[in-house]
Amino acid sequence: MISKKCTGCGMELQFEDEKKEGYVPEEKFIMEGDLLCQRCFKIKNYGKNSVNNFKSEDYSKEVLNSVKKSDIILPIFDIIDFEGSFTEEILDYLRDYRSIVLVNKTDLLPGFVHPTEIADWIKDRLAEEDIVSENIAFISAKSKYGINGVIRKIKSIFPDKKVKAVVLGVSNVGKSSVINLLLGKNKITTSKYSGTTLKSINNKIPDTNITITDTPGLIPKEKRLSDMISVETGLKLVPAGEISRKTFKLEEGQVFMFDAFCWFKVKKNNIVNKTEEETGYKPIFSAYSSKNVKFHLTKEERVKELLEGDFFELLKGEEKKKYFENEFVTFKTTVKENEDLVISGLGWINVKRGPLTIELTVPKGVKTVVRPSIFKGKK
């Protein structure tokens, strides 16, 4: 059989098994030109969910093979869920290969932050990991911000030379959307569901010497909270444009709830060498999340009742039942002044007066990180 690939997901096409990836009816298979598999056709035309049988290791292998053949890597991070997209696997690639870091979805930033303000913060995060990238580009596949700059940056590193650049990142950060913009056409399938691209896809960027490779999304070892619920509810956790921010002053024993998703109890800080009065302060923090997420302050004895009732509205019925079938873990952590505690895929709190010592309860496996605050000096 002649070998042909789907231009949408990179899968080798076949007409023998409708249930397997890469299927097209035989009459389509024999046609000339660009071909789309049935799965891509359904995603593109009906926005249908794209279930597939690939495993995390299959994706990792595919990415590794493409990276090995490349001159430069273009890892993509999601500015709004930075921690969910900043994984060990990607950091390892960044340590070993030349790179231009792409920070996508800048259209989702709140109006009071300019992407360039975050540039130093990202450079510091990379430096902490012993990574020096050739350049960082702030982009938005949605608003097309910064897209031409990506081509300029590649050209400036490899003037007059043929270049192979490979785009990589966790699922759903917008790899295929960015490449489509670079190509000037919607050739590759994109969707709100994870796992849309299945294999590496090579294309030449028109009027350049650059071959750009799309790769399947890597699966993070530590989960994003949004991965533990349905795609539809998960999308409600994305703070589109208007990030919600609210400031709280808490006393020992009070409980802060991030909707019904997770919660923490404030503990007493044991600061040595401080007088009783100095340690009797109330920590102040701001919580950041999508405006659909309800922030709520309560007493410990009310938490169960609030979770069981219908005060919180995002999780309902079967989905709520399933969410609470997850195992939850509770652990103590201290967040210092000017640090954020991030619950990947949900939001974060920024400590303005601290330290804040808490006991956090989250579903097991969700990535939580304490980091230097991302929106520094914001009132």
- Angle formed by the axes of helices 147-157 and 175-183, nearest 10°: 80
Residues whose CB is less than 8 angstroms from the CB of residue 379 and which lie 6 or more positions away in sequence, other chains included: none
Instruction: Decide if 364 contacts 378 (C-beta within 8 A).
Output: no
Which of Mg ion, ligand GTP, none lies near 195, with the C-beta cut-off 5 to 8 A by kind? ligand GTP
Q: Tell me how far, at minimum, the Cβ of 9 lies from Mg ion, in Å.
A: 8
115 binds ligand GTP (CB under 6 A): no
A 10 A CB-CB count for 57 gives 9
Which of Mg ion, ligand GTP, none lies near 172, with the C-beta cut-off 5 to 8 A by kind? ligand GTP
Q: How many CA atoms lie within 13 A of 294 on its CB side?
A: 13
Smallest Cα–Cα separation from 314: which of 245, 256, 229? 229
**Interface region with ligand GTP, contact rule CB under 6 A, candidates 33-41, 86-94, 100-108, 297-305:** 100-108
> Nearer to Mg ion by C-beta: 29 or 41?
41
**Interface region with ligand GTP, contact rule CB under 6 A, candidates 21-29, 194-202, 226-234, 298-306:** 194-202
196 binds Mg ion (CB under 5 A): yes
Which of ligand GTP, Mg ion, none lies near 84, with the C-beta cut-off 5 to 8 A by kind? none
* Residue keyed to tokens 């024999």: 30
Applying CB under 6 A, among 7, 99, 177, 200 the residue interacting with ligand GTP is 177
Strands 72-78 and 100-104, by their bridges, are parallel
Cα–Cα distance for residue pair 296/134, rounded to 1 Å: 43
Applying CB under 6 A, among 192, 236, 267, 294 the residue interacting with ligand GTP is 192
> Nearer to ligand GTP by C-beta: 94 or 168?
168
Strands 100-104 and 284-290, by their bridges, are unpaired
Applying CB under 5 A, among 197, 203, 344, 373 the residue interacting with Mg ion is 197
CA dihedral for 338, 339, 341, 346, sign (positive or negative) = positive
Judged by CB under 6 A, the chain residues 70 through 99 that form the site for ligand GTP are none
Q: Which tokens belong to 117?
A: 């303000």
Chain residues binding ligand GTP by CB under 6 A are 104-105, 107-108, 140-142, 169, 171-177, 190-192, 194-197, 216-217
Write out the residues near Mg ion by the rule CB under 5 A.
175-176, 196-197
